Structure formats: C-alpha cells, structure tokens
Amino acid sequence: MHTKVWKMNLTNILDQDIQEAADMLKAGEVVAFPTETVYGLGADATNAAAVRKIFAAKGRPQDNPLIAHVASTEQLKELVTFIPNYVYKLIEAFSPGPLTYILPANDYCAENVKAGLSTIGVRIPSHPIALALIQGAGRPVAAPSANVSGKPSPTAAGHVYEDLNGRISGLIDGGQTGVGLESTVIDCTGEIPVILRPGGITKEQLELEAGTVMMDPGLVTSEDRPKAPGMKYKHYAPEVPLYLFTGSISAFQDFVDKEIQAGSRIGVLVSDQTAGIFPENTHMHKLGETIEEIASSLYDGLRFFKQANVDKIICETFSEEGIGQAVMNRLRKAAVSVIER
C-alpha cells in the first residue's frame, strides 16, 4: 500500500490537503494525523471495517478500545447516553485539550471502537489540524496512537513513517506534537471521576474543577487490574532495553562509571541539568530542563538510541509532581527494571 504524505504546519494548514485526507477517512481508509499529545491513527468511527484496519496496521490487541475524537461538545453528546455534571465543568476547563472522557456509550460508533465495552472514550483534541480533519470528515474519528503496538507513541511524523509506512493510506505531517505524552483518560461513569491513565492534564488540575478525583487502584498496585484495557500491556518499550535509576547524583555517576569500565555500551537518558555531571564523551541524550520539556521529548528519546550502538539505556527518574506523574508512569511501563542505589 502506498502511504500518501501531506506536509503542513500550524501556520499553514492546507484546506485542500485536509479535505483529501478527510475524504480518505470517509472512504474507509486510515490516515495518521498530529494532535497536541501524540500522532493518532484515524478511521471513521462509525465504520467497523475501517476501524478494523487500525487494529491490523498497528497489530493492536482486539480487546483494547479506541478513543473517538470529535470536534465539539455537541458532537460528543451524540456518542453517549449520559453526561454527569462534573464532566461539563471539565469540558469547560480542559476541552479542546488532552483529556479523554469515558462515558456510557450509545450505538452511534461501531462496536469494535469500544472493543465490547458499554462505555466509550471521547476526546476533543485542540490541535488545529486534528480539528480541521474531524470537521472535514463530518463524523467522529477513532484514533489510537499511530505507533506499532508496544512501541513508544509517535511525537513526530518520522516516528509514524518508521512504524507504519506502507501499512496506512495517509499521513499528515504537521511537525512535532506539543505535550508529547498521551491524554489523561478519566472514567466519568461514576459519581467521582477516576483517572485510568495519567497524562496531559494532571490530577491537581482536574481536582480544581471537579473536586475529589481518584486514581485507578490498578495504576498504583500490581494486585489490581487496570480498568483501561490498554494499561495492562507492556508499553512504550524502546528497541534497546531500558533501566531506570533512582538514587543520589553521585551514586548515578558511580554506576555509569562502573558500567563503562566493565565494557557495557550504555546510553544515558537525562535532564539537561543531570547531563552536566557526566564527562563529555558519555553517550547521552538530553531531554530538556523542565518536566514539561522532558514529557515532550521523552518518546523521541526512547526511540533515539535504536540506531546508536548501545546495549542498554539508563534513564534517571523524575519527581511525580504535575505531568511528572505521567512521565514516570510511561517510564515504568517501558523499563525492564529499576536500579535502586
């Protein structure tokens, strides 16, 4: 299959190309597109055959439901049977944006979008290209992250191309995404909202609008099964094994020193500040200074060492405040193990 690529950016959205991509969606084809979180792999959410192509292209397990992307609150309402009051507050504050609402579903979307559940995840993305595409298609667009299942989510068109070239009909290259981690998934079927996947909107931000917000126990302990089917899988794994390091800066230095002396070829994934403690010739990839920058460049960092002749990646751990919670959630799922010193 030939993958058609359209190149555009935020200041130059090409209406004709968007419409061509939207027409592909309407014709039952799959098209990858940028959002403010990560690239999505879209299909007409009302067309089961089109949705099946998403699962096939990604090699995605059939029991893992997809998020339906819509362009407005009005369109969101068409997909669900009930919206609790706190969701209106959350929509007011955070949508369009990186927040996905799990709500009781009607049968507007195809069954396989929900993977057999009675609920559906709905998100209004804020990326202008994503919004234009959904509007052009005139229907909800089902879209998981546009990576091969198990790999880090794509934050640049090059990542999508690397994973899915030849397996999808189209790819809108809109440059780098912003947040860099996936949306927060929040279960809104009960009286109190429950975070099923930490992400772009933090627990603290949600609580300011909706009062108490809980964390899915499946995220915290290994005894409980996560409620979002996708969270039980090993995820975001780079091709080179990843280890997390927790301990003092000097212990980190020691550890890396000893590894290098023992002849292991390691790649070090760190913040700009931590990078400063290692000698110039250490094989390093810097993720940025602030936790927001680190979130934004994390998946690119995880993919970076693939071509770089290393046997393992050692990444530092970060404070779990704000989006740090989502960063650490993804790192733990990507890592082989944690080294504690």
One of 31, 38, 156, 256 touching ligand TXA (CB under 6 A) = 38
Q: Is 99 in the site for ligand TXA (CB under 6 A)?
A: no
Backbone φ, ψ for residue 304 (5° rounding): -55, -45
In contact, 149 and 157? CB cutoff 8 Å: no
**Cβ contacts of 222 within 8 Å, gap of 6 or more:** none
The DSSP code for 216 is: P
Asked if 145 touches Mg ion (CB under 5 A), the answer is: yes
Candidate residues 32, 37, 139, 216; the one interacting with ligand TXA per rule CB under 6 A: 37
Residues 47-86 that bind ligand TXA (CB under 6 A): 64-67
Judged by CB under 6 A, does residue 100 bind ligand TXA? Answer: yes
Contact call for residues 195 and 219 (beta carbons, < 8 A): yes
Is the CB of residue 55 less than 8 Å from the CB of residue 112?
A: yes
In DSSP terms, 314 is beta-bridged to: 243, 268
User: Which residues are CB-neighbours of 206 under 8 A, at least 6 positions away?
Assistant: 90, 94, 99, 184, 186, 193, 195, 213
By CB under 6 A, tell whether 25 contacts ligand TXA.
no
Nearer to ligand TXA, 36 or 316 (CB): 36
Q: Does 326 bind ligand TXA (CB under 6 A)?
A: no
The one of Mg ion, ligand TXA, none whose footprint includes residue 25, by CB under 5 to 8 A per kind, is: none
Gap between the Cα atoms of 32 and 182, Å rounded: 15
Between 274 and 329, CB nearer to ligand TXA: 329
Element holding 270 (H helix, E strand): strand 266-270
Q: Count Cα atoms within 13 angstroms, Cβ side, for 318.
A: 30
Nearer to Mg ion, 183 or 205 (CB): 183
120 binds ligand TXA per the rule CB under 6 A: yes
- Contact in structure between 330 and 181 (CB atoms under 8 Å): yes
Partner whose footprint covers residue 121, from ligand TXA, Mg ion, none (CB < 5 to 8 Å by kind)? ligand TXA
- Tell me if 303 contacts ligand TXA by CB under 6 A: no
Chain residues that interact with ligand TXA, rule: CB under 6 A: 35, 37-38, 40, 64-67, 98, 100, 102, 114, 117, 119-121, 123, 125, 143-145, 182-183, 185, 196-197, 227-231
